[in-house]
Amino acid sequence: MCGLFAAYVEFSIDDYQFLRINPPMRSTDLPEIRRLPLFCSMAAATFDTLFTHAYVQQFPAGLELIRQGDPADFLHVVLEGSVELYAAWSDRQCMMGEVRPFGAFILAACIRDATYLMSARTIERSRVILVPAADLRDAFRQDGEFALSVATELAGAYRGMVRDAKGLKLRNARERVASYLLRQSRLAGDASSYLLPVGKRLLASYLGMTAENLSRTLRTLEEDGIGVSGARVTITNRARLIALVRPDALMDGRDPADIPPPLAGAPR
Amino acid sequence: MCGLFAAYVEFSIDDYQFLRINPPMRSTDLPEIRRLPLFCSMAAATFDTLFTHAYVQQFPAGLELIRQGDPADFLHVVLEGSVELYAAWSDRQCMMGEVRPFGAFILAACIRDATYLMSARTIERSRVILVPAADLRDAFRQDGEFALSVATELAGAYRGMVRDAKGLKLRNARERVASYLLRQSRLAGDASSYLLPVGKRLLASYLGMTAENLSRTLRTLEEDGIGVSGARVTITNRARLIALVRPDALMDGRDPADIPPPLAGAPR
DNA sequence: CCGCGTGATTGATCCAAGTCAAGCAATCCG
DNA sequence: CGGATTGCTTGACTTGGATCAATCACGCGG
């Protein structure tokens, strides 16, 4: 807990401007965006209006997209790559979450027209859609279906944060590590071997412990059915691991209907 | 962390049925509810429909209103008293939050039509409105203003949980206690003396520490400008306390416009 | 191929916070 | 009034996890 980070590479304003001037919006982007849970239910007209001022951007790894405390100006949706949400206070910082395609972030700040509570930076090279917050609020007012999607997304984000907070308070570090590894296995289709999606330093920060302690914990977990070498995780004894983790749908599960909120079929 | 609770008083099904049969809805209740941030912006017709099947109930202290894992059936809004949200897992439990008038809880589960992630029980004798979740979703679809209020409320709940999680990860136990005490002082109008709103056992659980450790920490905080005897908190040196806490608007502050979301004036 | 930087590991040590076990104070109630 | 219950405090002790300090392994550019 309270571990410090290595300083990330900072890019200059010029790099940023350069990216802004060359929006890598592709012809295939809009139809793809249209299928996302957040946007698939809204009326065509609202969608078109919403995206007149939106644009897609490509960012290099390690770029700070959002700084906590700044006013919310754009809703961000990750198309490719991955983005880390992190919080900082008084020379400490920690990872609060990770966003991968096709998740949105800082929706809550945009809806409330408030300042960001967390910062965000790219973990790897990423493509992100930026939608002006004011347009978002307009679309919300005009389109009931979109409003429902937004509320569903917000509720999902809230519930995700509750799950995380429960994990922090109810489990110790070892249990958090084990449950994380088991959950990742599930995400990979109950694979018995998979690669860690983030570096160990970051993972430790996310799990609320130091990198050193994570390293040691991983060693001791070999006795409980899971081995890690490099980024490769191998489950050697799933039953034993499950007995240790005592998985709970309310902490480790995902919400059902995480994809299309009200209509199960989706428009295609 | 991971501290156990004393077992709470459990009430029988019969008590619960008794309360249901005698809904203590008062003539002054509906107009009052109408003024709440969540309901003040909606159309009169939607409001009336929404509350045809809603009812107000009085509960004794220590009654479990909601059990985690159950499907969401009613939105709850606290009118009087206070309610504890708590989470349990594998013989451990901890307080996750407190709801006082006129806060809503489990809105997210209702919107997603999902199961509760947290349990809830009354801390003291409390009056609560219960609104059927299905009606809530209907009203959401029919009334854009209400949808906006719901989204704002959800966004606020999310942000509150983010603040809590940040506090857990970035601050140690002593800092959490100190910041909590300072925050409560602010809530009491920057009073230099006030009463703790919850018992110390519960407070410790909320702050992610044991009751014993809270007790010790409070004693050591006397050197840093704050004294506690019984439930009475007295700030003896605010400057020193602030220096210790290093308050941060992104963790300790409240969202602006927590009351009426879009329209600042409000209907009064 | 080497030198470097970054990230991961390991070991030694320390400290914050949990645990266990009594004591104490206030409240409730027969 | 006295006993029981409940909640808070205190002390002695243990321990999980942080910190500090090297070392190691890898990927990369020169």
DSSP per-residue letters across A4-53: PPPPPP---HHHHHHHHHS----TTHHHHHHTSTTTTTS-HHHHHHHTTS
Residue A172 contacts B, CB cutoff 8 Å: yes
- pLDDT tens digits, B166-225: 999 999 999 999 999 999 999 999 999 999 999 999 999 999 999 999 999 999 999 999
Taking a C-beta distance cutoff of 8 angstroms, is the pair A59, A19 a contact?
Answer: yes
Name the residue closest to D9, CA to C1'. B215
Q: Which residues pair with B75 in a beta bridge?
A: B131
pLDDT given at position A102: 87
Q: Which has more pLDDT, A13 or B254? A: B254
Q: Please state, for a pLDDT cut of 90, what percent of chain B lies above it.
A: 79
Query: Does the N-terminal peptide bond of residue B51 adopt cis geometry, omega within 30 degrees of 0?
Result: no
Distance A115 CA to D13 C1' (A): 47
The reply to whether the CB atom of residue A3 sits less than 7 A from any atom in nucleic acid chain D is yes
Mean pLDDT of B151-164: 97
Mean pLDDT of B71-87: 96
Chain-chain contact of A2 with B150 (C-beta, under 8 angstroms) = no
User: CA triplet B138, B84, B118: central angle to 5 degrees?
Assistant: 60
- Three-class secondary structure of residue B73 per DSSP: coil
What is the crossing angle of helices A173-187 and A238-245, to 10°? 130
The helix/strand count (H/E) of chain A reads as: 11, 11
Task: Determine contact: A264 vs chain B, CB below 8 A.
Answer: no
Domain ranges for chain A: 13-167, 173-252
Beta-sheet strands, E only, within A150-191: none
Q: For position A187, what pLDDT does the model report?
A: 93
- Cα–Cα distance for residue pair B212/B203, rounded to 1 Å: 11
Residue from the list B89, B112, B250 with its beta carbon closest to the beta carbon of A170: B89
A128 touches strand D (CB under 7 A): no
CA–C1' B210–D14 (A)? 16
Contact B266, B259 (CB under 8 A): yes
Contacts of B169 in chain A (CB under 8 A): 1-2, 87, 94, 96, 168, 208
User: What local confidence, expressed as pLDDT, does residue B23 receive?
Assistant: 53
- B196 beta partners: none
Q: Which of B162, B145, B170 is nearest to B267 (CA)?
A: B145
How much is the pLDDT for B256? Answer: 81
**DSSP code, position B67:** -
Which residues of chain A have a CB within 8 Å of the CB of B89?
166, 170-171, 246, 248, 250-251
Instruction: Note the pLDDT of residue A22.
Output: 45
Q: How far apart are CA B165 and CA A99, in angstroms?
A: 17
Find the CB nearest B117 among A114, A154, A163.
Answer: A163
Asked if strand D comes closer than 7 Å to B214 Cβ, the answer is yes
Query: Quick one: fold of B13-167?
Result: Jelly Rolls (2.60.120)
Give the CA-to-C1' distance from B174 to C16 in angstroms: 10
What pLDDT score was predicted for residue B267? 39
Any A CB within 8 A of B73 CB: no
Task: Give the pLDDT of residue A32.
Answer: 85
Which CATH topology does B173-252 take? Arc Repressor Mutant, subunit A (1.10.10)
8 A C-beta contact, residue B230 and residue B200 = no
* Per-residue confidence (pLDDT) for residue B17, from 0 to 100: 42
Q: Note the CA–C1' distance, B199 to D7, in angstroms.
A: 8
Chain A contacts in chain B segment 91-120 (CB below 8 A):
92-94, 96, 107-109, 111-112, 114-115, 117-118
Among the partner-chain residues A90, A168, A249, the one whose CB lies closest to the CB of B165 is A168
Our measurement of CA A11 to C1' C3, in angstroms, reads 26
From the first residue on, what is the mean pLDDT of each consecutive set of 10 residues in chain A (268 residues)? 39 41 65 91 96 91 96 95 96 96 94 97 94 96 94 97 98 98 96 96 98 97 95 96 97 75 38
Contacts 24+ apart (CB under 8 A), A234-238: A234/A192, A234/A193, A235/A181, A235/A182, A235/A185, A235/A192, A235/A193, A238/A192
Say yes or no: Cβ of A212 under 7 A from any atom of strand D.
yes
B154 close to B104: Cβ distance less than 8 angstroms: no
